[in-house]
Amino acid sequence: MKKIMIYTVALLSMISLVACKNQKTQTTTVKGIYAKEKQLIMERFDAKNVSINVEKNVKDSDFPKGYNNIKVSLIGDKKVALSKAMKAAKKSLATKEEYNQIYEIRKETADLAKTLPNQKTAITVGFEKSKGDFEVIAKSSQGRNLIPVGKPAK
């Protein structure tokens, strides 16, 4: 009986270690796949004003079966400007310039999404309002804009 328990514990330990090893490999692979996309985002959004994080197997109402999300967090001056623009737009008090700032982010995101490797990957652009509260400005996948781009203000 003792031998059976020891073998069972040993077997479960080995399975756990193999599973952990495989998980690291998958994460590294996902980060490597999106290197080109991350570089394009850094160029188009100005590297000093963004932070990029790849989220794997995210499930939400847009992708109930899961997707990989390239999350672009605006920081610095860009965050301040877009935060103000989004707040004003929600109250229908935004200026043409503020509406156009939002439009430009959405248009750029839609254009970048066309370069994604597949339909199960999306780019989400926004900023952190407070810890754990991310305001989404734009979200697009290869085949669709999950937040409509709209038209520039005239």
Confidence class for position 143, pLDDT limits 50, 70, 90: confident
- Which residue bears the tokens 């970048």? 112
Burial of 5 per CB tally in 10 Å (0-12, 13-18, 19+)? exposed
Tell me how many domains the chain contains: 2
Burial of 85 per CB tally in 10 Å (0-12, 13-18, 19+)? buried
Query: 151 lies in a domain?
Result: no
Are 25 and 54 contained in the same domain?
A: no
Taking only the tens place, the pLDDT of each residue in 1-54 is 655 555 454 444 555 444 444 444 343 345 566 888 899 899 998 889 999 999
Structural domain boundaries enclosing 28: 1-33
Question: What pLDDT, on the 0 to 100 scale, is given for residue 25?
Answer: 35
Are 39 and 65 contained in the same domain?
A: yes
Instruction: Give the H/E segment covering residue 31.
Output: helix 2-33
